[in-house]
Amino acid sequence: MEFNIIPDQEALSKCAWCDGHILEDTEVFAFGAKLRPGVDLSEYQSHCIQIAMVSEEKPVYALVTVEGSDAKKDDKDLMFLVCSERCGLKLKDALEKEVSIGNLLGHIMP
Reported for 88-97, long-range contacts at CB under 8 A and 24+ positions apart, including other chains, are 88/17, 88/29, 88/31, 90/17, 91/16, 91/17, 91/60, 92/31, 94/17, 94/53, 94/55, 94/56, 94/60, 95/33, 95/53, 97/53, 97/55, 97/56
pLDDT of residue 83: 95
* pLDDT the model gives residue 104: 62
Better-scored residue on pLDDT, 100 or 89: 89
C-beta of residue 78 within 8 angstroms of C-beta of residue 13: no
Q: How high is the pLDDT of residue 9?
A: 87
User: Who has greater pLDDT, 66 or 99?
Assistant: 66
